Amino acid sequence: MMNLHILITVRFYMNELNPLDRIRELCEQRKWSYYQLSKASGIPYSTLNTMLNKENMPSLPTLQKLCQGFGISIVEFFEPDRNLQGLTKDQALCLSLFTSLSQEEQQLALAYLKGLSRTL
């Protein structure tokens, strides 16, 4: 596997992915405010807000904290479609809907699915 730092650098400089745009996209998918992301990631709101509003690129440790807050790996952050390969349309839709939920809503959805799978 390619060194992650090299992958990040190459994709960024080839304009394939702007980390700040990806952070905004993930917040939008989840219907999260920057405050909610701050709480989930442990990054102070003022730091996050300044980074996003002044277009300051996050460091790798900051990205790792953000990914933990989003509940995704750093690889998923930089390769968002990687996990969709091999899924049916319905499976991809379920995953997309699931990731748009808050953490609390995700727990409820998982509990529902676990209960449903026991009845089948």
How far the first Cα of the chain sits from its last, in Å, is 40
Q: What is the pLDDT of residues 12-23, one digit of tens each?
A: 544 567 889 999
CATH of domain 1-80: 1.10.260.40
- pLDDT for 66 equals 95
The pLDDT of 69-95, averaged and rounded, is 75
Q: What is the pLDDT of residues 23-56, one digit of tens each?
A: 999 999 899 999 999 999 999 999 999 999 998 8
Tokens of 105: 């809503």
Q: Three-state SS string across 50-85, please?
A: HHHHCCCCCCHHHHHHHHHHHCCCHHHHHCCCHHHC
